[in-house]
Structure 1
């Protein structure tokens, strides 16, 4: 299995913090497993975690990636996406690299809070080409004809082009925000954002809602 998830509830400066993540590996499970075990630990230790959470998230994505690449030189073609959510009080910080996706249900509507990073997107393709890489069709659009996502952890051989810079979005948690869904492309390839919300909105138990989506993905 190359997919992992992580959920943690921690106390920082007397405040409860929720950390949630989905990590979809490719080329093997090693990177996804490493990110699962290390990303949130790096984040919680960051000196600006409470004062500037977005900076802390950005730094933690990059430091986790760098540490893995330095620690294991054998996993040159192994990588992982990440879709994470960090709840600090009534502030929800969603970050992602790759094509795992986060959506929220707000007032009954499906609202994407992340953007899939695909090589054929105009801005991503331009960034890759300006760095000296190329995007070509090989069953789907791929970086260097190899990788179907344009941002990821790991992927050492393509690191110059496949960056780990997360896009980070902040949402305020109020009465209109009903729930959050984090999932890999195994779900989003077969279910739209709206369908995912419609399937789960009436289910009160989060675990049962997740099982319902899992059934659809398989």
Structure 2
């Protein structure tokens, strides 16, 4: 009897569990219907909005790209940011634009800074394109220019300061991440303007191009493993360059120089190549960009498109849009710098309020005829002066007849034209 009652209890409990399992299967089947799935999505959006926001990459890195010189900054959930800045003396303005593009995350950073060192105005512009993560690019954005401006030889020997700062910053970055398992890296393409001297330094495959009289001139050469000099340097260090979809160092990295990349540091150095230019009135603008632009936009196109826009911020946005429309699948970041040399040679009177003297000259048009009369008098006097040696008149009666012309000559000399228009300023 005990056994039979025990069996009944087991059978009843098993039946209850079977019913629970069957109900669960029915519910699971109902969850697969489209209506249920859409309802669950709607509920999750309302209950967990922060989680949903985290799942969509809002490109916080683009917001970190705001610099101390940005006059405007816009960012949206698509990973887009742009802004602009103008120098106090009006000789330079720049615009920058950054777009996540088709990538799931943003690894590009940019930096724009100005400062005065010993009374000398210095402008710095930089593009940093990360790979394997954004940590290296962000580190450069926060530290590279700061370290450079603190270098003791920055003004005395700018090229040496740039070279040493690049390599020291790379060492500092590797030291900061020695206890982590990350091995990300970054390019750097920077332009430093000290007075009218421009220093462009490059590590990696970002690029800087300058426009001179409408012609595009690259001021950096991409560090690709298949460059003959780079390949020789890598192989001499014991490395290998092989094809893996593109030429790569050790079959891994598609550039031959970079910050970071600890595992390849013996072959992938952070020593920059530096070019110096003395700017004159023929230099119009400067374009710095990550390879997301240069992969699909040639140097000449970039310069011609940037010259079409009056404002550099609009030019930077135009270049970003062009690269994306041409199929760029990478992050795209660009800085456009415009140079205004005419401000150095002419004072631009339109920027100053008219003085009382200017108002008087505008309200009195009569004196405009005086310079013509003075010019004629001056011409006559010069003609008479040249004919005197040929005529050789008698010296005694001459002062009486010549008194009036001599007085006119003195008047012309004292009140002669002092500007290009022949207007009497005295």
> Structure 1, unaligned stretches of length 5 or more?
none
TM-score by length of 1: 0.99
Distance 1:75 1:113 in 2: 35
> Which residue in 1 is equivalent to 2:320?
214
Aligned to 1:166: 272
Is it true that 1:129 corresponds to 2:213 in the alignment?
no
Segment of structure 1 superposing worse, 152-161 or 66-75: 66-75
* Larger radius of gyration between Structure 1 and Structure 2: 2
* C-alpha distance in 2 between matches for 1:166 and 1:32: 16
How far apart in 2 are the matches of 1:217 and 1:191?
6
Q: 1:20-59 residue pairs with structure 2 within 5 A?
A: 20-59=125-164
Asked if structure 2 preserves the Cα contact closer than 8 Å seen for 1:93 and 1:171, the reply is yes
Q: Tell me how far apart the structure 2 counterparts of residues 20 and 210 of structure 1 sit (CA, whole Å).
A: 14
- Compare the two structures and name the one with the higher helix fraction: 2
1:63 is aligned to 2:168: yes
Q: CA deviation at 1:200?
A: 1.1
Contact 1:76 1:157 in 2 (8 A): no
**Aligned 1:71-82 pairs, distance under 5 A:** 71-73=176-178, 74=180, 76-82=182-188
Displacement after TM superposition at 1:212 (Å): 0.3
The CA distance in 2 between the partners of 1:85 and 1:200, in whole Å, is 17
Q: Is it true that 1:194 corresponds to 2:300 in the alignment?
A: yes
Alignment partners' CA distance in 2, 1:75 and 1:206: 40
- In 2, Cα distance between equivalents of 1:131 and 1:116: 20
Deviates more, 1:16-25 or 1:72-81: 72-81
Who is 2:247 aligned against?
A: 141
Query: How far, CA to CA, are the matches of 2:181 and 2:275 in structure 1?
Result: 30
Q: 1:183 and 2:289 equivalent? A: yes
Aligned length: 218
Alpha-carbon shift at residue 198 of structure 1 (Å): 1.1
Change (3 A) 1:164 1:16: same
- Which one has a larger percent strand, Structure 1 or Structure 2? 1
1:78-157 alignment to 2 at 5 Å? 78-157=184-263
Counterpart in 1 of 2:109?
4
Larger RCO (CA under 8 A, 6+ residues apart): 1
- CA deviation after TM superposition for structure 1 residue 77, in Å: 2.3
Deviations 1:85-136 (A, max 9, x none): 0000000000000000000000110000000000001100000000000000
**Change beyond 3 A, Cα 1:155–1:124:** same
Give the whole-Å Cα distance in 1 for the aligned partners of 2:323 and 2:129. Answer: 14
